[in-house]
Structure 1
């Protein structure tokens, strides 16, 4: 596959890693259909980038909303052959903290959005990709998910987030094996510390301090570097069934 041939559903595509992916796709001649709860940002990005971008406001945990978004994407662009799952949340909470035990409702919400939401988009998009005409390499589609280094070395207060992202990493291989017969590849990216809206509430000094914990490059990652890896995955057909850490060699400390 080439980026210019991609017609992608990008969940969480209105900001952060998803937005960078949308911009990269359009820059390279591809098309992107944003699925995001933030209608204002989604519409702004669609307007800025023009006809190669679509948008539908949808909750990734809703079967009906995601089905409608996919139908809208197909109606807009004719088909879809790629998914990039970037939608997610990361509220911190200790299992037993000063204010009591971890809210079961909050734990369930993180799993619901980060893990079940990712799976929901995968399953509904894949059934449409299966009918695509295969390219010269036998490919019909590509699914790229977003995990996190927290899946492997989560910090105190990240029990829910780490569990959700470990689930995303864990389902990558079995889904890739299942979809191999259809020519649909499945990959996952596990970013480290990236300058996304999650960090916007922190003062610049705090962001710089976090960046210094990354061995090299000694800074926070740029969303454009995530998009750069998406492009590499698109264009290398042997990349399949794997989770790639994109983290500057960081290994997170306990806290």
Structure 2
């Protein structure tokens, strides 16, 4: 698919993997709309890219439907990347042996999994109305899972469940949307150099990087963005979850 002249919507686009992706898509010629929460640095980041910012909660059908329609205003919306997500750790039992609040589990699954589904559904409804591009594509949707979907650690039951759900729905959604010319893929990043990890002491960052077989370092957001661009450009990639992790397999803790 030709990125130039298309509109792109990136959730969680104000920082980290989302910002790197928004930057790469803008450089490739897309009209980029960043979707993030009110109070995020999204407005400034969008202005730097010559794009737009929309404050929206990915779990709200009304807010995301409005965001998708606005994103499609300057040009056909053909690219959507789901990077919004949260990752608070929580064990099944707390230190006193009591169950952690169910609301904590529900919130994480709601944002990471239900939020991703909501964006897919709202965006697909708009993409399906596009005129097909050369090759028949009407749109490409890229989701973000995690290696925790496959080898989650202690303290990650909710996070792993949410990201495992994103992985699990990739193929059935891709199969359904195939008749509309919409491709769907998911990236499962490993230990990435996100704002959360960059806040750790350098020694902790180095220790995490050394757990990666090769290259023994944290993954870079621009490497995630590069894979997004390849998924968009390679018309035969569909229905697949791709690990981006330097061959790491996470230990139990």
Contact 1:12 1:85 survives alignment (8 Å): yes
Where in structure 2 are the equivalents of 1:58-73 lying within 5 Å?
58-73=56-71
Structure 2 distance, partners of 1:68, 1:78, is 15
C-alpha displacement of 1:200: 3.0
Corresponding residue for 2:152?
154
Residue 137 in structure 1 maps to residue 135 in structure 2: yes
Structure 1 distance, partners of 2:216, 2:40, is 34
Distance 1:248 1:5, change over 3 A: farther
TM-score, length-normalised on structure 2? Answer: 0.97
Structure 2 distance, partners of 1:40, 1:180, is 35
3-state SS in 2 of match to 1:87: coil
Corresponding residue for 1:37?
37
3-state SS in 1 of match to 2:251: coil
C-alpha displacement of 1:26: 1.1
C-alpha displacement of 1:17: 0.4
Where in structure 2 are the equivalents of 1:15-94 lying within 5 Å?
15-50=15-50, 53-75=51-73, 77-94=74-91
Structure 2 distance, partners of 1:73, 1:57, is 12
Count of residues in correspondence between the two structures:
252
User: Which segment is superposed worse, 38-47 or 128-137?
Assistant: 38-47
Distance 1:69 1:61, change over 3 A: same
TM-score, length-normalised on structure 1? Answer: 0.96
Distance 1:179 1:63, change over 3 A: same
Q: Which runs of 5+ in 2 are unaligned?
A: none
C-alpha displacement of 1:6: 3.5
Contact 2:12 2:35 survives alignment (8 Å): yes
List structure 1 runs of 4+ shifted beyond 3 angstroms: none
C-alpha displacement of 1:38: 4.6
CA deviations 1:104-157 (Å, max 9, x no partner) are 001000000000000000000100000101112111000000000000000000
Contact 1:14 1:38 survives alignment (8 Å): no
Residue 119 in structure 1 maps to residue 128 in structure 2: no
Where in structure 2 are the equivalents of 1:82-231 lying within 5 Å?
82-99=79-96, 100-231=98-229
Distance 1:19 1:70, change over 3 A: same
C-alpha displacement of 1:5: 4.0
Distance 1:67 1:189, change over 3 A: same
C-alpha displacement of 1:46: 1.5
